[in-house]
Amino acid sequence: MQKTIVIGVVLFIAVNACIKNDHIDTEPPVIDLTYPATFPTNCDTLYFGETFTLKMSFSDNIELGSFSLDIHHNFDHHSHSTEVTECNLDSVKSPLNPFVMIENYQLPAGINNYTINFPISLPAENGNGTLDPGDYHLMVRLTDKEGWSSMKGLSIKILHRHP
């Protein structure tokens, strides 16, 4: 009886060890900033009171899931940049009324390539008055269906146009 159980357990382990699961996703998604129409890119300038179109190419080996966008001030010159190019930064300053945007977006189900062509409006002011111009970070985090993620951090300027 024990011999039969041992043989059964060994056989079970051997069979399960031979079964391959080719559907396990171990690769993070890709944010391609070399896509020709990418905007913004590192060191670009955006303007309060205007709308810009976020353009980036996303891909994954199996299936994309969602992306998030985070725009916040860089008045203290902290770094999230994933790019090699260094931008000219304004002097360090304390924020008075900085712009902040943190949004999450679902991507269409069942796709592994997607090009974002997404309008984003930058208000000129909020309930506290005119928004602080200067150095900002634009961070994009892309997550695939399995939960793997990648991030790109861009240094940008957001200014007010003067008539």
Q: What is the pLDDT of residues 95-122, one digit of tens each?
A: 999 999 999 999 999 999 999 999 999 9
Question: What's the mean pLDDT when you consider all of the chain?
Answer: 90
How many separate domains does the chain show?
A: 1
In a domain, 79, yes or no: yes
In a domain, 18, yes or no: no
**What CATH number is associated with residue 49?**
2.60.40.2550
Domain containing 136: what range? 25-159
pLDDT band for 125, please (50, 70, 90 cuts).
very high
Q: Does pTM surpass 0.75?
A: yes
In a domain, 77, yes or no: yes
- C-alpha–C-alpha distance, residues 22 and 45, integer Å: 44
